[in-house]
Amino acid sequence: MSDRYTRAWFLKSANALDQLPPDTGLEVAFAGRSNAGKSSALNAITGQKQLARISKTPGRTQLINIFPLDDERALVDLPGYGYAKVPASIKAHWDQVLPAYLGRREALQGLMLIMDIRHPLKEFDRQMLAWCDHAGLPAHVLLSKADKLKRGAAGNTLQQVRATLGAEFPAATVQLFSGLRGHGVDEARRVLDVWFGLDEGMD
């Protein structure tokens, strides 16, 4: 397996679009409700335990964090959303910035949307999918914490979410994922490879 994702490193945090790096190269963004397992997913995909901070306090990621892989490609960690204790002013700020980022950022190639498999397709998840749909941006759903369910139940949830996406957001795809167990990491990386224009022969 290529080590392209294990090379990820922290570049900077941004509170607004004009604080982001130049709009060149290729980016893939990660988003999800607070406590859905977004940081764990980023860490599992990059093979780094502490690249993205994992907090027991939901809503801690309140900035856009940039993790380059090389001079042309970067993973982008978007603020966790949907948690009641995040101040209203911060919610209002990101309600403006996130759709603008998804709709205007030329470098953005796709969105990895992390959902807790026990609580998929909440209002905020649908909002993110709607923003992607409006922007013509591909989205791939990681049903995280799949280890919390038995295999049959996880498979049933996967099929239910796939059916809903097919009916409402047909451009979106979905898979099972467990950052704790490392399940689904290779599948997620293959989606990233496509979005980043990489093939199996590169590293």
Predicted local distance difference test score (pLDDT) of residue 57: 45
Predicted local distance difference test score (pLDDT) of residue 80: 78
Structural domains of the chain, ranges and CATH numbers in brackets: 12-195 (3.40.50.300)
Digits of tens for pLDDT over the chain (203 positions)? 458 999 999 999 999 999 999 999 999 999 998 889 999 999 999 999 889 875 444 444 578 999 999 999 999 999 877 655 667 787 888 888 999 999 999 999 999 999 999 999 999 899 999 999 999 999 999 999 999 999 999 999 999 999 999 999 999 999 999 998 999 999 999 999 999 998 654 44
Q: What is the pTM of this model?
A: 0.91
| 57: CB partners within 8 A, 6+ apart | none
In this predicted model, what pLDDT tens digit does every residue of 163-187 receive, in sequence order?
Answer: 999 999 999 999 999 998 999 999 9
